[in-house]
Structure 1
């Protein structure tokens, strides 16, 4: 039946959200057998890895030592980030590769994304959002704060179209605020902090951003 893989993928996600992990994985993999590019099935089977990347990235922004956790996570991402199916996942895989220092894996992922930007069903997402996010976070990780601001600032306005929750996409603004702070772009930093203060007045991370020139920690 046309579209049945999508139904299975959405069902798998619901099972995962309710804590039925084994059944969710089986259902998601059945969906992928029918349609390897089913984004819902990918999302259901891989949701924990995305959250792990986002959590470790937030801790990095707060200068928390996470030990070897990046390396463990990056090894798992190596089997899931294909650079053509779902750029939201690829972005989180890139975080893992950056944290683990796997430059070769990151470069290979970027190359696959660049190739897929021409012919993948997700080509527009990859080109307009996925690649700028990966490249912006890479610039930030390596201390090129000006480049990070340049790449991330435009993306934040339309990143909602490629999936994820508000909390997951919030990584973009958190990274952008810190990059603007470190890079001396105080007008951008203060503008983003004021916006965030209005939206999340009780966030501890928001409070940490209030002093220009200081780390969010």
Structure 2
């Protein structure tokens, strides 16, 4: 459900779900209603339904996981933690529940508890990649880049059989630690070997690639022609507007690649989407999403004054666009560079 093709592939299963939903109990009906809301892009309703479901059935780990997913994408850290607490209470000795809880703790700035819980999860199952991820977040937030690089290197042998998202994403964090240590060449090596190419059609792989290349260029690294295959995929996302956090990355990639006309059309499409968005989203788009997009577009075009003004307006509530602290820090960096009159560091493609 993060790309248009996913929605199309899901439709037959949603149809079957509708047919069978009446045969289930109340728990199943609530879950089906949450999926219906998700399919209608009413993420707020989906979160609320899963929240209500897991109050009554806190052992439903699937509902908790998807509840956290929606809470995360809506920037609702309190709900993220509520779901995690329910998982931990019911499954105190299960590693994966501890991993869910650890990440929620970190996103709520309870760093010591998050690290302790993440390590507890890894004691129960060394291959809990989400717990690896939670501990890495703590280390990044605390500026412990050496510890973080060592930690992920220690855990990485367990990722090969994991899903592409968590595998790629943990390597993305490993790349961030290398950047923090001034080892941009190693971050680029991670990009080439681990971040791009496993599933280039996957939106999460696309935004991870955009984020990494953008950060490396801001540090003066020449990334060569690595933008080209990424932008070729991103161009297919125009007009989807499924997650605002993704849209900001797609827009930057188009503008960065010099596709000025397509970037302007994307911006116009975002404005139109903001006007027709559900009631719960309209204020977000007007106060945060559109200013952030304008800032991203200006930064890609080296218009520092406009980039600083627009990003500065959006940053206080940018968490509502989704993404983690680490992911959103990209926009903080862009704002700081623009405020200092520094350009994006891009080179001609």
What TM-score do the two structures reach when normalised by structure 2?
0.42
Q: Measure the CA separation in 2 of the matches of 1:123 and 1:93.
A: 21
Displacement of 1:82 after TM fit? Answer: 2.4
Which fold has the larger relative contact order, with Cα–Cα distance below 8 Å and residues 6 or more apart in sequence?
Answer: 1
Q: Measure the CA separation in 2 of the matches of 1:106 and 1:71.
A: 15
Contact 1:87/1:125 (CA < 8 Å) preserved in 2? no
Helix, strand or coil for the counterpart of 2:320?
helix
Question: How far does the alpha carbon of each residue in 1:33-82 deviate from its partner, in whole angstroms, 9 at most, with x for none?
Answer: xxxxxxxxxxxx52221111111110121121111121211111122242
Helix, strand or coil for the counterpart of 1:82?
coil
Report 1:54-203 matches (<5 A). 54-82=211-239, 84-121=241-278, 122-182=281-341
Q: Measure the CA separation in 2 of the matches of 1:161 and 1:126.
A: 10
What TM-score do the two structures reach when normalised by structure 1?
0.65
Residue of 155, 164, 173 corresponding to 1:21? 164
Residue of 3, 10, 18 corresponding to 2:66? 10
Displacement of 1:124 after TM fit? Answer: 3.1
Q: CA separation of 1:123/1:79 partners in 2, compared to 1, >3 Å: closer, same or farther? A: farther
Contact 2:252/2:296 (CA < 8 Å) preserved in 1? yes
Q: CA separation of 1:72/1:125 partners in 2, compared to 1, >3 Å: closer, same or farther? A: farther
Contact 2:231/2:254 (CA < 8 Å) preserved in 1? yes
Structure 1: 5+ residue stretches without partners: 23-44, 184-214
Helix, strand or coil for the counterpart of 1:114?
helix
Contact 2:252/2:300 (CA < 8 Å) preserved in 1? no
Contact 2:251/2:293 (CA < 8 Å) preserved in 1? yes
Q: Measure the CA separation in 2 of the matches of 1:125 and 1:75.
A: 29
Q: Measure the CA separation in 1 of the matches of 2:220 and 2:282.
A: 35
Contact 2:255/2:301 (CA < 8 Å) preserved in 1? no
Structure 2: 5+ residue stretches without partners: 1-31, 39-61, 70-99, 101-128, 131-158, 166-201
Contact 1:145/1:179 (CA < 8 Å) preserved in 2? yes
Q: Measure the CA separation in 2 of the matches of 1:113 and 1:83.
A: 9
Q: Measure the CA separation in 2 of the matches of 1:55 and 1:72.
A: 14
Q: Measure the CA separation in 2 of the matches of 1:83 and 1:124.
A: 20
Q: Measure the CA separation in 2 of the matches of 1:123 and 1:83.
A: 17
Aligned length: 161
Q: Measure the CA separation in 1 of the matches of 2:284 and 2:207.
A: 17
Q: Measure the CA separation in 2 of the matches of 1:114 and 1:176.
A: 22
CA RMSD for the aligned pairs? Answer: 2.9
